[in-house]
Structures are given as C-alpha cells and as structure tokens.
Amino acid sequence: MHNIFLYAARDSQSYRQVEKYLANVSYNGEFIILPPGSRFSSPLCLHLRSNDIFILFAENDEDLAELCSSHGEYEDFRIILIVKDENQIQESKLKNISPRFIASLDGNIDDVSQYIHSAFKKNNASL
C-alpha cells in the first residue's frame, strides 16, 4: 500500500480546495494531511516511506521559496507540486524541488488524479 501526503508552507483557502480535491481521489492507499507550516515535525511524518507520493502546495512565490528551502525533508519522495496560479511555474523557481508532476488550481488540477493512478499502477506492476 502506498500513501499520499499533502503539505503546504501555510494554510489558506486554496490549500483547503486542494485538500478537498485530493480527499475525493480514489486509490489503494492512505491520504495523510501534514499540518501546514509544521516543517515536518508532525508525528504523521513517521508514516513516510520512499514509494509514497508527496504533494506540495504553494499559494504564492513566498510559499514556493519556503518549500524550496526545506527540500531536504522530502527529496527522496515522488513529488507532485500544485501551485495556485499557472504563472508560478518557472524552472528557476523550482530549484531543489524537482517535482515529477506540476499542476495548478487554475489549470490542470484534474490531471493529478491521473498521475496518481498511473504512478501506483506502475508500482503494483513491478511487485
């Protein structure tokens, strides 16, 4: 079983939209919400395994910079980055994160569920 973790540098209405969307994605695993801004100090982090998917949400450039600065905490995981605005997606801003998939609330958010299903299907096939 694989888990999906959601984390953001801070809580916001947009973050809650992402949380609600992801809670409705069906897959064979657990959806774990890390407290926004907790900097990975939550006991829920003890459930992290290398095959898990780690979804990061950035509301703005400040959040993106915060996520980049703490990249060492999650660099061994499969990263999906969700941003509020498609204009935030610039290679120079994504240094250190190296997401496998990028989505935006104002663009391709529905593609996230397809990516999750595809990623878990590949893992199950290799077992």
What CATH number corresponds to the domain at position 51? Answer: 3.40.50.2300
**Residue 120 scores a pLDDT above 70:** yes
Number of domains making up the chain: 1
Query: Cα–Cα distance between 103 and 105 in angstroms, integer?
Result: 7
- Quick one: pLDDT band at residue 127, thresholds 50, 70, 90? very low
Distances (CA, A) of 121 to 47, 61, 82, 100, 113: 21, 33, 21, 16, 12
- Quick one: pLDDT band at residue 92, thresholds 50, 70, 90? low
pLDDT digits (tens, 9 = 90+) for 41-76: 787 777 777 778 899 999 998 998 888 888 777 777
pLDDT at 95: 66
The whole-number average pLDDT for the span 1-6 is: 83
Written as one letter, the residue type at 40 is F
Q: Is 33 helix (H, G, I), strand (E, B) or coil?
A: strand
Domain that includes residue 107, residue range: 2-126
pTM score of the predicted model: 0.86
